[in-house]
Amino acid sequence: MTILQLPTETLIQIFDYVGSSYFRSDLSRLTVCKQWNELARTACFRDFYVPQETLRRLLSSPYAESSLALVKDSVETLDLDLKGFEYWDSNPLSRHDLQAVNVLNVSTWNGAHGRAVRAAWTTELNNDLLYLATIIKQSRKLRILRIQATSELHPLLHLLERRDYLFLSTIRAFLSASSLTSLELDLCGTQLIPHQSQEHGERSHVCTSIAALLTTLRRLRLRMRSICADVLKPRQHSTNLRLNEMLINLSLSNESPLTTSAAHATCCGPPSGGFLHLKANMEKQAQVLVAQMEAPKIVRILTHALPNIEMRAFDVLTGRNVTLSEGVEWDDDGEAIED
């Protein structure tokens, strides 16, 4: 018996076992034959890792429509990896700016031409992401959404201020997916830019959109430059939320050489009380949320302490603070801090 004589259900289990990365590492592995291809393509797009360059190539391909239809029908995990102004020099507006980079002319990048380059790059990226979001939110299988957005990549990075590049409407579009059970947002490389007039209001932050998912999520991990306690307030009161893991990192200390070692998230909207006020509100609302969770396993608010940039986590379930070693996972057991 050849492998293709096995029942379809068995072949699907085999392809699931070898995983999406096996096929993505060498796309010729999809082309054994038509029967093989139909099953292998589904496995290939089940876990969909998307850097910006991959997304641009996919959407500019003549097979974009059929490929995205396959993504919609197959994807269970979507992992977006965004780096600020990556491949900015591939934009036609940037060709003039290449000469400026060679002579380290910071004023050009900060001037009108530089702003035009960044605006073009930002518009193209957000248009691509919005198009992907319209497809993804139709998926019935999507369960895990990860979005990581890091700071700008540029040869003059050490001479430039951090630039923002993600629209609020873009992230909201992805959060409208109704089947999510796990959400990880690490957006500390950019503030979310209001793109439409209705997004410029006082309550135009993404926190309420995340909170709307609390009734279906089981896992939530967040690190954002702006956040508030609204992110932990479900729209409907419940005592049996399926959410069992919630980790929010307010520390931005290891995100970029452009941020100071003391960088923390700020509160959404007008400043009110500073970081300590934000931290206290987050911890208080996390305690309220725990009472609504059916079987909480880990609930933490992470920060860092000076002068040694020591990572700390307030464990909401035990009411204790723990220290975390550098480079460990947010959910590491850590070492309890004695009162």
pLDDT, tens digit (0-9, with 9 covering 90-100), for 110-144: 667 677 878 888 999 999 999 999 999 899 999 99
DSSP string, 188-256: TT-PEEP-SGGGSSTT-SSHHHHHTTTTT-SEEEEE-SEE-GGGG--SS--S-B---EEEEE-B-TTS-
- Residues 1, 64, single domain; the answer is no
- Residues 208, 293, single domain; the answer is yes
Q: 């139709």: which residue's tokens? A: 138
Q: How far is CA 146 from the centre of its chain?
A: 5
pLDDT at 175: 96
pTM metric for this prediction: 0.85
Please report whether residue 95 resides in a domain.
Answer: no
| Greater model confidence, 111 or 185 | 185
Is omega for the bond preceding 7 within 30 degrees of 0, making it cis?
Answer: no
Q: What does residue 49 show for φ and ψ, rounded to 5 degrees?
A: -95, 125
Q: Per-residue confidence at 14, pLDDT binned at 50, 70, 90?
A: confident
| Residues 299 and 315 sit within 8 Å (Cβ to Cβ) | yes
| Average pLDDT for 258-275 | 76
Q: Indicate whether 232 pLDDT > 90.
A: yes
- Residues 51, 27, single domain; the answer is no
Look at the chain and report how many structural domains it folds into: 2
Q: Indicate whether 21 pLDDT > 60.
A: yes
DSSP bridge partners of 310: 305
Q: Which of 321, 314, 318 is nearest to 336 (CA)?
A: 321
- Residues 15, 161, single domain; the answer is no
| Residues 49 and 24 sit within 8 Å (Cβ to Cβ) | yes
DSSP string, 310-325: EEEEEETTTTEEEEE-
Please report whether residue 97 resides in a domain.
Answer: no
Please report whether residue 128 resides in a domain.
Answer: yes
- Torsion sign, CA atoms 74, 77, 83, 84: positive
Q: Per-residue confidence at 158, pLDDT binned at 50, 70, 90?
A: low
Please report whether residue 205 resides in a domain.
Answer: yes
Give the separation between CA 4 and CA 16, rounded to whole angstroms: 15
Q: What percent of the chain has pLDDT over 90?
A: 42
- Residues 29, 118, single domain; the answer is no
pLDDT at 97: 47
Give the separation between CA 247 and CA 119, rounded to whole angstroms: 33
Please report whether residue 75 resides in a domain.
Answer: yes
Taking each helix axis from N to C terminus, what angle separates 64-74 and 52-60, rounded to the nearest 10 degrees? 120
- 58-105, pLDDT tens digit by residue? 888 887 888 888 889 889 999 999 998 877 666 554 444 444 444 445
- Residues 179, 326, single domain; the answer is yes
| Residues 226 and 164 sit within 8 Å (Cβ to Cβ) | no
Please report whether residue 153 resides in a domain.
Answer: yes
Please report whether residue 35 resides in a domain.
Answer: yes
- Residues 15, 158, single domain; the answer is no
pLDDT at 101: 45
- Residues 40, 116, single domain; the answer is no
Whole-Å CA distances, 44 to 10, 37, 54, 213? 16, 10, 14, 27
Q: What residues make up the domain containing 39?
A: 1-45
- Residues 160, 279, single domain; the answer is yes
